[in-house]
Amino acid sequence: MALAALRQPDPPAALEVSCHESYDPAHPVPARAEVHFHDASATRGPALKYAQVDGADGNPA
């Protein structure tokens, strides 16, 4: 995700990249997030892992 944002024709000068992990079945996934793992019936309970990239100014990258 970060590399794709930096390879845009007019890339941002800096990025804020974050990874998130949640075991709350009601945890919403942000619209711009890229889900890497989601298993509602995992053996240890529901699991969700996602990443998101924003420009350093807080706007979507």
In a domain, 13, yes or no: yes
Q: If residue 2 lies in a helix (H) or strand (E), which one and from where to where?
A: helix 2-6
Q: Are 50 and 17 in contact (CB under 8 A)?
A: no
Q: Is residue 60 part of a domain?
A: no
Predicted pLDDT at 59: 61
- pTM for this one? 0.70
Nearest C-alpha neighbor of 1 from the set 24, 29, 26, 33 = 33
Question: How many residues are there in the chain?
Answer: 61
Q: Is residue 61 part of a domain?
A: no
Q: Is residue 18 assigned to a domain?
A: yes
Q: How many domains are there within the chain?
A: 1
Per residue of the chain (61 residues), what is the pLDDT tens digit?
788 888 888 888 888 889 999 998 888 998 889 999 988 877 777 899 999 988 766 565 5
For residue 38, is it within any domain?
yes
The conformation of residue 41, written as its DSSP 8-state character, comes to T
Hey, what are 25's tokens? 């079945």
Domain that holds residue 36: 2-55
